[in-house]
A and B are shown apart, each in its own frame.
Chain A
Amino acid sequence: MTQASKVMSAQEAIERFVPDGCELAIGNYTVGSCMELVSEIVRQGKRNLTVYSQSGVIDVEVLVAGGCVKRLVTTYVYRGGGREGGSSVERALRNRTLEIEDYTNFEYCARLMAGVHGFPFMPVLEGVRPTDLFHKRSFLGEDKYRIISCPYTGREVLTVPAANPDVCIVHVQRADREGNAQYWGAMGSVAYAALASKSIVVSCEQIVSEDIIESSPHLTIIPAFRVNAVVEIPWGAHPMEVIGHYNRDIMMYSIFARACSDERRMKEWMEEWVLSQLSRESYLEHYIEKFGLHSLNRLKARPYYSAPADYGAAFTSMWDEHGRERNMGITREELEDFLRERGELYE
């Protein structure tokens, strides 16, 4: 029986794996986020999502501005225009359409780490105990943190509950058709967000052949058997950056930063760059039409290759060039004769 292909469009992947009301993890951390998958979620009008984001930047802003998010578990959110500016997250909190649960970076990551390994909770760093992170709780209530007694030392141990989101969307440099996903650069918690989740949608700059993955397994952060969908999306993180492919688009980011401090301007930005676009191709066409191809080209990375790791071994067959077994020193015929002589062959 052959397995159905996992390679599909962003539209199909989001339709199939991101239902309304689910817990959605954004796998990327601060850099190279899955912007096209995020845009597709907004276009499909997904509602009531509980979003997990280690560090919400433009991705969380767009989801919140798109009205998709009911609850947000995070450590950090974007604020366009600095102190004077505002954000969609801020407006949604003020309008009481969004609930937020704040953790520190480590504690958020520890929740995923527990989820990855199947543990019910994870001990975390107790330094946070006098702070409002510990005292002020939102929708998780008592379960935001619990304190237990260490069975070995008797000391109090601060813990956070495991997180196993329903689905993780994540953008990486490359993957094969089966879903082996390779990512490099700032590792953050990218692998943990994906591996903790029940389903995984991978978008990548490039789909590559199996042998490329096999010769560089140290770059694989998600194994194929955990992945449900693979979507090839060049420029899939723009205006964010992907190491080895393109830099952050500072111009586009500045325009976005200004837009998100104001509700009306944010609406216009969403209309122009998310809702009016059918796919990343049309987004890029619009970008090039508006800013010129040179604006995109100047972001392209110049190669700086990692030194190849040599996975070579001394031989690839147990039989040497003379047809002799490498350790026993005999040929295939001699092996058979030997077995017959010892009465081990049943003829």
Chain B
Amino acid sequence: MSKPYTLQELLIITAAREIHDYEKVILGVGLPTTAGALAKALYAPHAILMMESGIIDFKPLVPLNHIADVHAIRGFKYATDLFSMFTMTYRGFVDVCFLGVAQVDRFGNVNTTCIGDYYHPVKRLPGAGGAPDFISYAKRTVLTMLGGEFVERLDYFTSPGYLTGGSTRDDTGWYPQGTGPKTIITTQGVFGFDEKTKEVYLAQIHPRVRLEDIKKRVPWELKISPDLKETVPPSAEEIDFIRRFAPAQAIGRKLAMELVIKNSLKGGKDTSSKN
């Protein structure tokens, strides 16, 4: 038995394992920044972490609140601006990019803008941010989905995956060959994209997850890899890193917020003298 972990921890750890040493990595808001910190600490010490706010080459000390959080790092090596960060990506200098997903379709197209009608939405989600630009030009993109959903048809098409599958993305001439989403990581498993059809398939299943439960959340007949693997359970070292580095992310946003508010009602426990 491995050390007990939460689903958020498993997702972060699985994402971190996608980062290879010496890669130039764009980290999106939320869990990816913690995945970057974990990778840099444990497996990819030379990875260059970057964020679209223009912060390049940093080592996080505490979890980042957002993609412009210089408070969470002690210095960084290059301070550029948002415009240059994207033209750098356009020119092919970014290896891998991590993006969060609210809705994703069978060809890896993504919605992070709204649920329902765009002009008068049921839910207005954050929006595009830099996602469409990064998924267009980063050499590969890793999608992370926590609480999002697979859908037959996106309510809003925010970021281009493989369009209508096959060679349709490449055929437009708008994207460097070979770019696009490579993986979707959820709290249940890891999905890949078929080399030819570009349709999503289940590549890896997380420990103690049942295949039926994954299928239930996909509204079409999900393809399964013939050599479906089980995700290697998180190591004690990986779990310890996250608990130490990002305790609030380990337990999840909702529970963390509950504790923060509880603490504030007690008058805000003063921890300043101890840290």
The answer to whether the Cβ of B22 comes within 8 Å of any Cβ in the partner chain is no
- B83 contact set on A, CB distance < 8 A: 106, 109-110, 113, 189, 192
A133 pairs with B128, CB closer than 8 A: yes
A93 & B66 in contact (Cβ 8 Å cutoff): no
B93 at the interface (CB under 8 A from A): no
Among A96, A126, A186, A258, chain B packs the most CB atoms within 10 A around the CB of A186
**Assuming A126-B174, A188-B82, A255-B264, is B130 touching A30 (CB within 8 A)?**
no
Selected from A29, A105, A248, the residue in CB contact (under 8 A) with B86 is A105
B249-275 Cβ-contact flags toward A at 8 Å (1 or 0): 000011001001101100110111000
Tell whether A94 is near chain B: CB-to-CB under 8 Å.
yes
Known: A127-B132, A292-B267. A188 touches B81 (CB 8 A): yes
Task: State which residues 59-99 of A face B: CB under 8 Å.
Answer: 74-79, 81-83, 86-87, 89-90, 93-94, 96
B71 touches A247 (CB 8 A): yes
Other-chain residue from A106, A127, A136, A304 in contact with B82 (beta carbon distance below 8 A)? A106
Cβ of B121 under 8 Å from chain A: yes
Q: Mark B175-216, 1 if CB is under 8 A from A, else 0.
A: 100000000000000000000000000000000000000000
Which of A18-26, A206-214, A293-301, A330-338 forms contacts with chain B?
A293-301
Stretch at the interface among B8-16, B31-39, B151-159, B227-235: B151-159
Q: Out of B54, B118, B172, B260, which one reaches A251, CB within 8 Å? A: B260
Report whether over half of chain A's contact residues are helix, strand or loop; otherwise say mixed.
loop
- Asked if B113 lies at the interface with its beta carbon under 8 angstroms from chain A, I say yes
| 0/1 string, A32-54, CB within 8 A of B gives 1 | 00000000000000000000001
Provide the residues of chain B in CB contact with A86, threshold 8 Å: 123-124
* Inter-chain contacts of B163 with A (CB < 8 A): 130
Q: CA separation between A292 and B268, bound complex, in Å? A: 8
Known A30-B68, A83-B147, A187-B53; contact A131-B82, beta-carbon cutoff 8 A: no
Interface residue B90 (Cβ < 8 Å from any Cβ of A): yes
A257 CB within 8 Å of chain B: yes
Contact present for A76 and B133 (CB under 8 Å): no
Number of interface residues of B (CB under 8 A): 65
A273 to nearest B CB, angstroms? 14
Cα-based distance from A133 to B264 in the complex (angstroms): 40
B135 contacts across to A, CB distance below 8 A: 127
Does any Cβ of A come within 8 Å of B55's Cβ?
A: yes
Interface of B is mostly: loop
Question: In this assembly, does A125 line the interface, its C-beta being within 8 Å of a C-beta of chain B?
Answer: yes
Known contacts A55-B129, A133-B128; is A297 also within 8 Å of B160 by CB? Answer: no
Cβ–Cβ contact A30 & B124, under 8 A: no
Q: How far is the CA of A57 from the CA of B83 in the complex (A)?
A: 20
Contacts A106-B82, A125-B90; A94 near B268 (Cβ below 8 A): no
Beyond A188-B82, A254-B264, whether A103 also contacts B128 by CB under 8 A is: yes
The reply to whether the CB of A339 lies closer than 8 angstroms to some CB of chain B is no
Given contacts A55-B129, A138-B119, contact A185 B261 (CB under 8 A): no
Task: State whether B119 touches A93 (Cβ < 8 A).
Answer: yes
Which residues of B lie under 8 Å from residue A133 when comparing CB positions? 128, 132, 158
Is there contact, CB below 8 Å, between A29 and B113? no
CA A191 to CA B81, docked complex, whole Å? 9
Question: Given A29-B68, A77-B127, A185-B70, 9 other A-B contacts at CB below 8 A?
Answer: A74-B127, A90-B121, A93-B124, A105-B52, A113-B83, A127-B160, A130-B174, A133-B128, A291-B264
The 5 A-B residue pairs with the shortest CB-CB distance, nearest first, are A127-B136, A186-B68, A186-B53, A90-B124, A106-B86
